[in-house]
């Protein structure tokens, strides 16, 4: 068992520290996924460095930059900074790395590929994944939010979700999707609890869903880089903007803290930019 020194120079097990840190995060209404990511980062930090100090955090930052993408680096930095606040050492916190803003969205699934995928899933009787894809593409829900969905939510026609900043937003299901989903649930004898269960009867994991979608992409001859949960959130946002030019409403639906985050959906995807470039530039 890993042993570290706390500020009172007492030997304390890492598991004990992480358990207390988890309670600290839960008290601040962090989501389960965020807590899991933060605990992983702090465990990784202590596997590399014994003492939680500014100097060691800077070394950890260098380690992260050598091994991970900037988004992951910043997630781990947010985690250890939160950990330093928990330890009452706010002066030891470090700065995140600056990520260059992209003026396009990458890896957006096309409407044609989405239609093809859902038709293949329905044809092959893959109802769990069919409705997972349809719900994400027609609501813009994140994968963590999708997996919270219950039969009762489908019956109600909406789900109330907690967003960042302890805000609650209501996400509606279309009549067509909720009606067909309820027929499927009724056929398999499910009238309560979570919608998306694995073969053991427990909620499917986000990793399991991601991996299965990738396998379906290979099976159906689709590019796996565009068949992942967040791609359907992107698809929803693009379709919403094209059919309802209300970016403020879209920002609320997606649960963005700032409308500036939503503005990326006003831009063309990298693929669209390339196609337009080749059409226009003929000199």
CA distance 279 to 282: 7
| pLDDT band per the 50, 70, 90 thresholds, residue 3 | very low
Kindly give the residue spans of alpha helices, DSSP state H, lying in the chain.
14-27, 32-48, 54-67, 70-86, 111-123, 127-139, 143-146, 151-156, 175-187, 206-219, 229-243, 247-254, 259-262, 270-280
Is pLDDT above 90 for 256? no
Is 102 a domain residue?
Answer: no
- For 17-27, the pLDDT digits (tens) are 899 999 999 99
More reliable by pLDDT, 115 or 278: 115
For 163, the token pair is 């967003």
In the predicted structure, residue 51 carries a pLDDT above the cut 90: no
Last residue of some domain: 60, 92, 124?
A: 92
Q: Whole-angstrom Cα distance, residue 39 to residue 76?
A: 10
Residue 162 falls within a domain, yes or no? Answer: yes
Rounded to whole angstroms, the Cα distance separating 56 from 241 reads 45
Task: Place 12 in a pLDDT band, splitting at 50, 70 and 90.
Answer: low
**Are 120 and 259 contained in the same domain?**
yes
CATH number of the domain bearing residue 80: 1.10.150.130
- Pairwise pLDDT comparison (273 vs 189), residue with the higher score: 189
79 and 126 both lie in a single domain:
no
Rounded CA-CA distance 79/206 in Å is 20
Rounded to whole angstroms, the Cα distance separating 264 from 276 reads 18
Instruction: Measure the CA–CA gap between 278 and 272, rounded to whole angstroms.
Output: 10
Q: What is the DSSP letter of 31?
A: -
Distance CA 29, CA 82 (A): 13
Say if 191 falls within a structural domain. yes
Same domain, 81 and 126: no
Task: Report if residue 99 sits inside a domain.
Answer: no
Question: pTM, whole model, 2 decimals?
Answer: 0.60
Q: Are residues 83 and 169 in the same domain?
A: no
pLDDT of residue 102: 52
Residue scoring higher pLDDT (233 or 116): 116
Percent of the chain with pLDDT over 90: 45
81 and 140 both lie in a single domain: no
Whether residue 251 sits in one domain with residue 201: yes
**In the predicted model, what is the mean pLDDT of residues 60-66?**
89
Q: Average pLDDT, stretch 68-87?
A: 91
Q: Which two tokens stand for residue 26?
A: 């839960």
Nearest-angstrom CA–CA distance, 50 and 12: 11
Burial 1-39 (b: 16+ CB within 10 A, else e): eeebeeeeeeeeebeebbeebbebbeeeebbeebbebbb
Domain ranges, residue 269: 111-280
Number of domains observed in the structure of the chain: 2
Let me know if residue 100 belongs to a domain: no
| Lowest mean pLDDT across 1-5, 12-16, 47-51, 255-259 | 1-5
């Amino acid at each position: 068992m890993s042993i570290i020194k706390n500020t009172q120079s007492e030997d304390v097990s890492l598991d004990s520290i992480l358990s207390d840190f988890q309670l600290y995060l839960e008290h601040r209404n962090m989501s389960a996924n965020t807590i899991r990511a933060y605990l992983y980062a702090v465990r990784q930090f202590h596997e590399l460095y014994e003492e939680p100090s500014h100097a060691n955090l800077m070394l950890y930052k260098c380690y992260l930059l050598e091994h991970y993408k900037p988004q992951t680096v910043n997630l781990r930095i947010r985690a250890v900074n939160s950990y330093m606040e928990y330890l009452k050492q706010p002066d030891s916190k470090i700065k995140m790395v600056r990520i260059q803003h992209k003026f396009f969205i990458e890896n957006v699934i096309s409407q044609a590929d989405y239609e093809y995928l859902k038709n293949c899933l329905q044809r092959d009787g893959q109802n769990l994944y069919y409705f997972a894809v349809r719900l994400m593409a027609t609501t813009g829900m994140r994968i963590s939010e999708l997996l919270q969905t219950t039969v009762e939510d489908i019956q109600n026609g909406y789900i109330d979700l907690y967003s960042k900043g302890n805000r609650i937003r209501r996400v509606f299901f279309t009549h067509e999707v909720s009606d067909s989903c309820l027929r499927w649930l009724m056929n398999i004898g499910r009238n309560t609890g979570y919608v998306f269960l694995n073969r053991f009867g427990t909620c499917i994991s986000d990793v399991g869903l991601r991996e299965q979608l990738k396998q379906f992409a290979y099976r159906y001859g689709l590019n796996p880089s565009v068949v992942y949960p967040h791609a359907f959130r992107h698809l929803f946002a693009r379709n919403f903007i094209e059919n309802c030019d209300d970016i403020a409403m879209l920002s609320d639906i997606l649960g963005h803290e700032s409308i500036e985050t939503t503005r990326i959906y006003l831009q063309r995807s990298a693929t669209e930019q390339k196609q337009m470039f080749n059409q226009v530039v003929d000199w």
